[in-house]
Amino acid sequence: MILSGAILLGLLALWVVAAAFEAHRLGIGLRQAFLYLPFRLAYRIDDSRLRAVARAEAPVIYVVWHQSRLDPALMLSLLPEQTLHILDEEAAKSIWLEPWRELARTITFNAKHVFVSRRLVRVLKGKGRIAVYMPDEVEPDVKTFRLYRAVGRIAAQAGARVVPVFVSGGRFVHGSLTPRQQAPRRWFPKLSIAALSPMTIAELVERSGGPSAITASNALFDRMAEARLAGADLDRSLFSAVRDAALRFGPSRTIVEDVLTGALSYRRLLTGARVLGKRFEAMTSPGEAVGVLLPNTNGVLLSLIGLSSAGRAAAMMNYTAGPANLAAATQTAAIRVVVSSRAFVEKAALADIVEAIEKAGARLVWLEDVRAGVGALEKLAAALLWRVPIARQSATDPAVILFTSGSEGTPKAVVLSSRSLIANAMQAEARVSFSPADRLLNVLPVFHSFGLTGGAILPLINGVPLFLYPSPLHYKIIPEIARKARPTIMFGTDTFLAAYARTAKDDDFSSLRFVVAGAEAVKPDTRKTWRDRFGAEIVEGYGLTEAAPVAAVNSASHGRDGTVGRLLPGMRKRTEPVEGIAEGGRLWLSGPNLMTGYMTLDRPGELQPLADDWLDTGDIVSVDREGFITISGRAKRFAKIAGEMISLGAVEMMVTALWPEHNHAAVAVPDKRRGERIVLVTTAEGVDADALRRCGKQAGAAEIMIPDGVVKVTEMPLLGSGKTDYVAARKMAMESLGLGLAA
C-alpha cells in the first residue's frame, strides 16, 4: 500500500514537473499545461506554429476550423487565458469538457444573436482576444458563410488581427465531427496545429491584388483555406504521400480500378510499384527522367509510383502528339529509357511513335517482359517492404515531367516536383468538397496535367476510389462505363462532355455530384444539358501545366457561370496592362504548386528555373470584386487589327452562340492593309461571311470582331487533351486561303 502510494505520488510529481516544463515552453498557465499534457502525449502534437503566434498583439481573433470535439479543449489549453471562447451549444454543455472550460471565459454560440452583438467589438477594442470555432466546411452554405461575413465585420470594426488555426489530422480522431464514411477513425493519430501569422482584414483585402480588392468575407474565407493548406504535409515525395494515405485509409482499401486488370488495393498498388521500381532502379541513374508511354490503366500508376519510389522522374509522353513531337520530347528531357506495353502499342497502332522514340536515342522497356521476369523472392520482398521507398526521397526533386500541349507552338518540358503536385492536390482539397465516400471516374489521359493531378494524384492521396478509362474519345462507351461504375465525380473538357451527353441515356451519369471541367471554356449549352438531364453541376476551373495544373476553380459556395472561379489558396496573382486592351491585363501567378522550371529542345536535360518565382501565364484576364476570374483569351489568341486587340476567344463565343451544335476556331492570319484579319475555321455548313455579318450585327458585335473569311472542315483538329489544335487550324486556314505558312 505504501509502495503504491509512493508510486502514485512519484507519477504525480513527474506530471507536475512535465506540466511546468510545458507551461514554460508554451508561455501558458500551469493549469492549462496540466490539462494539455495528456493530449500532447497521446497525439504527439506539433504545436510550434501556434506557439509562435498565440500571443500576437491584441486585439486578435483566433478563427479555428472546428473538426472534432478535441478542438475547444486544445484551444482552451493553448491560447492565452484571457481569451473569450465562443463555443457551440454541444461544447458549452459537454460534461467531459468541464475542466477545460474552467481555464478561460466562454460564451455559448448562437448564430442568430451572438455575432450581431456589439459586445464582441467592445471586447476586442479593449485589447481583448476571441476564439471563434467555424464549421469544417470547405464549401460553406449560405448560413455558414454568414459567419465569415460576421467575423470579418467584427474584425474590421475593432481593427483586430485574425489568426486562422487548423488542427491537421483532427478529422480522423475519435470524436471527429465528420461522418465515418468520409473520415475513417484512428486511435491517437499524430496531430499538427497549423496557425498563420496575424493579419488585419484590411491587410488581407489589400494583398488580394488586382485592380479591385476582394470583399472582407472572401478575404477571410481565403485565409482560412490557406490555414487548411498549411496543415498539409507538402514536404513528401509522391511515393510517401500515397504510402501515408494507405496507412491512413487502410492498406486493404480498394483505391484504383481499370477495365483491363481490375481493382487494386493500396497494398497491392504499392507492392506492384516496388517490384517495378526495383527494375527501374537497375536500368537507370538516380534522378534520371524515364519516359512513360501508357494509357489510363493500373499499369501507368504502378509505373508512376514505382519511379517515385526509385527516385526517378516520370516523363509522361503524349502518344497522340505524333512521331515528331515524341522524338522532340525524348530529346528535350534527355530520356534514355521509355516504359510501355506491347499490347498497348499494337492496339493503338503506335509503331511509328516507337520508331521515332528509338531514333531519338531511347530504348523501349516492355511491362510484359518486366512482369514475366519477376521471381517469387522479388514478390515476397515487395510484399514485405511495400511501405519502404527504394531510394532517398525528396519533395523538391523532379517527380514528373509533362509536355505543354503545343496548341500554339513547339511543346516544352515542364518539370514538376513532388511538392508542386501534392500542393496542388491539397489546394483543391481546401477549396472543393470531396471525401473517401466519393468515387472518381477519370477518362482524361495522365500525360495531360489535368488528368494526372486531378484525375490520379488527388484521389490517390485523399483516399478517393478511382476508376480509370483509357481513352476520352470513346463517346458511346464512356456513358455505359459511368452507369456501371457509379462515380460521384468526373473530370472532362467541354468537347468531351458535350459528346458524351449526345450519346448518353438520362440515367448514365445520374450518380454524379459534380463534373470538374477544364482545358477549355465550358459552353452554356453543355452546362445546361448536364444540369437538366443528369442533375450534375459542371465545376469550371482554370489551369496550366506549369501550375500542376489548377490555379482557380469554382465551387458550390463560390461559383459563377462564365468565370473560371477564384484562385486556389496559397496562390498570388498580379495583372499587367496590355496595350489595346481596356479591361483586365496579362496574368502572372505565384504559389507552391508552380513548376520547378522548363526544359527546351535547344538545351536538352537542362532545368531552366523560374526567374523570380512568378509565372507569366500568357492569359488576358479580368477579376471582379469577389475574386472571380474571367479569361478573355491567350495573349497569343488576340488579333491585332488596325492597332486594336480583338479576342479570338470572344469571336468563337459569338459564333458558338449562333451555331452551338458545331465546332469553331477563330484564327488570325496576316493582312497587308490592317496587319491581321480573323478567319473562322468551322464544321458548320451554313456559315459564310455574309451570314456572319448579319448575325454579328444582330448580336451587337463590333464590325471589327466579325470574321471576314470562312474555312469549312469536316472535323476540327484536336489535341489529346481535347483542346482545339490551333496550330493545325491556322495551318488549314492559311493553306485554304493560299497564304502559305509564313507568320
- pLDDT of 113 > 70? The answer is no
Domain for residue 743, yes or no?
Answer: no
Ranking 392-401, 408-417, 442-451, 539-548 by mean pLDDT, the lowest is: 408-417
Domain for residue 351, yes or no?
Answer: yes
413 and 521 within one domain: yes
418 and 386 within one domain: yes
The residue with greater pLDDT, 651 or 330, is 330
Local confidence band at 24 (pLDDT 50, 70, 90 cut-offs): confident
Local confidence band at 585 (pLDDT 50, 70, 90 cut-offs): confident
| The residue type at 490 | M
Last residue of a domain, one of 230, 262, 278: 230
**Domain that includes residue 135, residue range:** 7-230
Task: Tell me the DSSP string of 262-278.
Answer: EEEEHHHHHHHHHHHHH
651 and 621 within one domain: no
Q: What is the CATH number for 486?
A: 3.40.50.12780
Query: What is the rounded average pLDDT of the residues 288-307?
Result: 95
The x, y and z cell numbers of residue 581, run together, are: 486592351
Give the per-residue pLDDT at 213.
Answer: 57
Domain for residue 536, yes or no?
Answer: yes
Query: What is the rounded average pLDDT of the residues 414-432?
Result: 94
Local confidence band at 522 (pLDDT 50, 70, 90 cut-offs): confident
How many percent of the chain have pLDDT more than 90? 49
Q: Is 90 helix (H, G, I), strand (E, B) or coil?
A: helix
Give the per-residue pLDDT at 517.
Answer: 87
- pLDDT of 304 > 70? The answer is yes
Number of domains observed in the structure of the chain: 3
Distance of CA 266 to the CA centre of its chain: 22
- pLDDT of 640 > 70? The answer is no
Local confidence band at 383 (pLDDT 50, 70, 90 cut-offs): very high
Give the per-residue pLDDT at 441.
Answer: 95
273 and 220 within one domain: no
Domain for residue 529, yes or no?
Answer: yes
Tens digit of each residue's pLDDT (9 = 90 or more) over 432-489: 988 999 999 999 999 988 899 999 999 999 999 999 999 888 999 999 999 999 999 9
Give the per-residue pLDDT at 110.
Answer: 66
Query: What is the rounded average pLDDT of the residues 413-421?
Result: 95
649 and 502 within one domain: no
264 and 208 within one domain: no
Last residue of a domain, one of 175, 206, 230: 230
Interatomic CA distance for residues 570 and 424, integer angstroms:
10
Query: What is the rounded average pLDDT of the residues 142-157?
Result: 88
The answer to whether the CB of 452 falls within 8 A of the CB of 422 is no
**pTM of the complete model:** 0.85
Domain for residue 741, yes or no?
Answer: no
Q: Listing from the earlier edge strand, what are the strands of the sheet with 585-590?
A: 572-576, 585-590, 615-623, 629-634
Local confidence band at 399 (pLDDT 50, 70, 90 cut-offs): very high
Give the per-residue pLDDT at 627.
Answer: 85
Tens digit of each residue's pLDDT (9 = 90 or more) over 587-639: 999 999 999 999 988 889 889 998 888 998 888 888 888 889 888 776 666 66
Picking from 487, 495, 494, the residue whose alpha carbon sits closest to that of residue 469 is 487
Tens digit of each residue's pLDDT (9 = 90 or more) over 221-241: 999 999 999 999 999 999 999
Local confidence band at 388 (pLDDT 50, 70, 90 cut-offs): very high
How many percent of the chain have pLDDT more than 70? 91
The residue with greater pLDDT, 565 or 735, is 565
Q: Name the helix (H) or strand (E) containing 402.
A: strand 398-403
Query: What is the rounded average pLDDT of the residues 269-282?
Result: 95
Local confidence band at 743 (pLDDT 50, 70, 90 cut-offs): very low
530 and 406 within one domain: yes
331 and 214 within one domain: no
Domain for residue 38, yes or no?
Answer: yes
Last residue of a domain, one of 230, 249, 278: 230
Local confidence band at 702 (pLDDT 50, 70, 90 cut-offs): low
Query: What is the rounded average pLDDT of the residues 391-405?
Result: 90
Beta bridge partners of 130: 61, 84
- pLDDT of 742 > 60? The answer is no
Interatomic CA distance for residues 606 and 609, integer angstroms:
10
282 and 250 within one domain: yes
Local confidence band at 315 (pLDDT 50, 70, 90 cut-offs): very high
- pLDDT of 406 > 60? The answer is no
Q: What is the CATH number for 48?
A: 3.40.1130
Q: Listing from the earlier edge strand, what are the strands of the sheet with 550-553?
A: 262-265, 254-258, 466-468, 440-442, 489-492, 514-517, 537-543, 550-553, 566-567
Domain for residue 637, yes or no?
Answer: no
353 and 285 within one domain: yes
Query: What is the rounded average pLDDT of the residues 421-437?
Result: 93
pLDDT averaged over every residue in the chain: 87
71 and 159 within one domain: yes
Highest mean predicted confidence (pLDDT) among 1-5, 96-100, 321-325: 96-100
Q: What is the CATH number for 696?
A: 3.30.300.30
Picking from 321, 320, 359, 312, the residue whose alpha carbon sits closest to that of residue 339 is 312
Query: What is the rounded average pLDDT of the residues 40-55?
Result: 90
- pLDDT of 262 > 50? The answer is yes
Domain for residue 2, yes or no?
Answer: no
278 and 160 within one domain: no
Q: Which residues are identified as catalytic?
A: 66
